[in-house]
């Protein structure tokens, strides 16, 4: 039985939102404390020391230290990264400062060998990344890219490849296991004494985020395999990277999710082998009804279309089946030709407004494409076009349940309004 006060709640569709409300750390099993945040943190406390799994965003570090020090004065032996994303592995500086202030040895940083490679890539492409975070999170105000600009890198001092047993906490042994999934540097943490898994972003309390438009390749089939390996150890609780904690239904959640990921991978591959191209695959591949209805697979964080895109990227090149697109003209050149044929931008805008007033998402989407002709043509009615595009993006964003899809569209609307205002 679970209740509102039970520390282990089976995450439902609302759980993702709940984890964004900061709460105090709570003990979910002996020595295992869950600290909800935008990216969840887990604090492990044994007889001889503590470990922090995922200190979170750089702004989250001081909060982690505060919560830790309510619980124990023991030194932190390990900071474990489930992966090197900005919302998981960058709260470390505050933990290092706390250790120094207390005269403790600096904790070891534990992660998969690819974490350091990720950090090198982050440093190499920091301008690009900061720009993409500004764009992805513009709806929350300027400065989304500060997670990149303010990042202090603490790469692993203990890097492992496949599995690693950590015994520095005394009576609470901790095992790190690697799997490919959201990233190529992912770890899930197994605490066998408490039968708890800290799942990182393998678990996001909804359809996995198996493809984000701004981000590099994700690994859908291996993700399924990792979830099956988690199920094989028969955990009592599984802590998500975003969202809640799975208790009674952990096994069902793991295996239902792996079934869905295997389905998507298999379906895309089958269609590729039949000679289909991206446009058709993207338009037609959906989860079967029974899976789509599962409470574990609601598109609250990721969405099916984004996962399908990443699966295609995994198995094929960038060619889309249309030879006109091998060496394409600029969008501005095409738009100029089209607007010349329509005798100016007015009929294009008019039709875009008609389509944009529709209830049908497909028609709103077509309105976006029409408005682009006016924007890329430049000049005539371009401010109006930016304003209409912003409106259309807002409407579109409200129809997306996925956190990632919604944010990108709503943020794009904010940016469109700004570019209309300064055009
Ligand atoms: Zn992540």
Residue 317's SS3 state is coil
CB neighbour list of residue 119: distance below 8 Å, 6 or more residues apart: 84, 153, 155
Is residue 33 within 8 Å of 7, Cβ to Cβ? no
Is residue 404 within 8 Å of 212, Cβ to Cβ? yes
Distance 85 CA to ligand 1 centre (A): 5
- Band the pLDDT of 422: cuts 50, 70, 90: low
Element holding 256 (H helix, E strand) = helix 250-273
CB neighbour class for 13 (10 Å; exposed up to 12, middle 13-18, buried from 19): middle
CATH superfamily membership of 15-261: Metallo-beta-lactamase domain (3.60.15.30)
What pLDDT score does 38 carry? 85
Cα separation, 239 vs 2, in Å, equals 16
For the chain, count helices (H), then strands (E). 16, 13
- Report how far apart, in Å, the C-alpha atoms of 179 and of each of 110, 112, 162, 218, 224 are: 15, 9, 8, 12, 10
State CA 214 to chain mean position distance: 11
Is residue 82 within 8 Å of 279, Cβ to Cβ? no
Cα separation, 263 vs 210, in Å, equals 13
What pLDDT score does 19 carry? 53
Q: Which of 127, 125, 122 is nearest to 152 (CA)?
A: 122
Distance 87 CA to ligand 1 centre (A): 7
Cα separation, 98 vs 91, in Å, equals 12
What pLDDT score does 170 carry? 97
pLDDT tens track for 296-314: 999 998 899 999 999 999 9
Domain boundaries, the chain: 15-261, 329-422
Distance 386 CA to ligand 1 centre (A): 32
CB neighbour list of residue 75: distance below 8 Å, 6 or more residues apart: 49, 50, 99, 102, 104, 105, 107
Q: Which of 192, 202, 189 is nearest to 163 (CA)?
A: 189
Distance 114 CA to ligand 1 centre (A): 14
| Mean pLDDT computed over 220-249 | 96
pLDDT of residue 416 exceeding 80, the answer is yes
Element holding 410 (H helix, E strand) = helix 403-422
- Band the pLDDT of 232: cuts 50, 70, 90: very high
| Mean pLDDT computed over 49-64 | 96
Give percent of the chain above pLDDT 90: 90
Give me 124's structure tokens: 């190499």
Distance 156 CA to ligand 1 centre (A): 17
pLDDT tens track for 64-103: 999 999 999 999 999 999 999 999 999 999 999 999 999 9
| Mean pLDDT computed over 245-250 | 94
Least confident of 12-16, 162-166, 381-385, 401-405: 12-16
Q: Which CATH architecture has domain 329-422?
A: Alpha Horseshoe (1.25)
What pLDDT score does 14 carry? 43
Distance 77 CA to ligand 1 centre (A): 23
What pLDDT score does 24 carry? 87
Is residue 380 within 8 Å of 344, Cβ to Cβ? yes
Cα separation, 9 vs 247, in Å, equals 6
What pLDDT score does 168 carry? 97
Distance 204 CA to ligand 1 centre (A): 9
pLDDT tens track for 14-39: 445 545 566 789 999 999 999 998 89
What pLDDT score does 15 carry? 41
Q: Which of 385, 392, 386, 387 is nearest to 410 (CA)?
A: 392
What pLDDT score does 4 carry? 32
Distance 196 CA to ligand 1 centre (A): 20
Cα separation, 79 vs 69, in Å, equals 15
pLDDT tens track for 116-161: 999 999 999 999 999 999 999 999 899 999 999 999 999 999 999 9
Distance 328 CA to ligand 1 centre (A): 34
pTM of the full predicted structure? 0.92
Average pLDDT, the chain: 93
Distance 181 CA to ligand 1 centre (A): 10
- Band the pLDDT of 362: cuts 50, 70, 90: very high
């Amino acid at each position: 039985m679970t209740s509102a006060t039970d520390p282990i709640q089976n995450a439902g569709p609302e759980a993702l939102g709940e984890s964004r409300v900061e709460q105090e750390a709570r003990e979910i099993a002996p020595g295992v404390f869950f600290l909800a945040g935008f990216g969840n943190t887990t604090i492990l406390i044994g007889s001889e020391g503590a470990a922090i799994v995922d200190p979170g965003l750089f702004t989250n570090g001081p909060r982690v230290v505060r919560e830790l020090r309510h619980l124990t004065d023991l030194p932190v032996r390990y900071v474990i990264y489930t992966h090197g994303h900005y919302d998981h592995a960058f709260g470390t500086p505050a933990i290092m400062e706390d250790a120094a202030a207390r005269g403790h040895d600096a904790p070891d940083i534990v992660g998969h060998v690819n974490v350091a490679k990720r950090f090198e890539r982050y440093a190499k492409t920091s301008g690009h990344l900061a720009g993409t975070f500004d764009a992805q999170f513009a709806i929350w105000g300027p400065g989304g890219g500060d997670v990149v600009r303010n990042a202090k890198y603490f790469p692993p001092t203990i890097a492992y490849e496949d599995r690693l047993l950590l015994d520095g906490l005394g009576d609470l042994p901790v095992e790190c296991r690697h799997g490919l999934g959201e990233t190529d540097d992912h770890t899930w943490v197994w605490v066998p004494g408490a039968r708890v898994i800290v799942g990182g972003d393998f678990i996001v309390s909804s359809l996995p985020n198996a493809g984000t438009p701004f981000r590099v390749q994700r690994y859908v089939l291996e993700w399924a395999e990792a979830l099956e390996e988690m199920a094989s150890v028969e955990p009592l609780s599984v802590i998500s990277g975003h969202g809640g904690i799975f208790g009674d239904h952990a096994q069902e959640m793991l295996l239902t999710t792996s079934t869905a990921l295997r389905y998507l991978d298999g379906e895309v591959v089958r269609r590729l082998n039949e000679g289909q191209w991206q446009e058709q695959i993207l338009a037609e591949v959906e989860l079967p009804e029974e899976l789509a209805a599962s409470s574990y697979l609601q598109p609250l964080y990721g969405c099916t279309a984004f996962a399908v895109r990443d699966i295609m990227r995994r198995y094929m090149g960038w060619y889309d089946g249309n030879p006109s697109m091998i060496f394409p003209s600029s969008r501005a050149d095409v738009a100029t030709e089209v607007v010349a044929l329509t005798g100016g931008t007015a009929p294009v805008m008019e039709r875009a407004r008609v389509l944009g007033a529709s209830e049908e998402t497909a028609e709103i989407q077509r309105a976006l494409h029409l408005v682009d002709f006016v924007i890329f043509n430049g000049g005539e009615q371009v401010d109006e076009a930016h304003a209409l595009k912003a409106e259309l993006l807002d409407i579109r964003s409200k129809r997306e349940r996925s956190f990632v899809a919604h944010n990108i569209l709503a943020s794009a609307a904010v940016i469109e309004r700004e570019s209309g205002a300064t055009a």
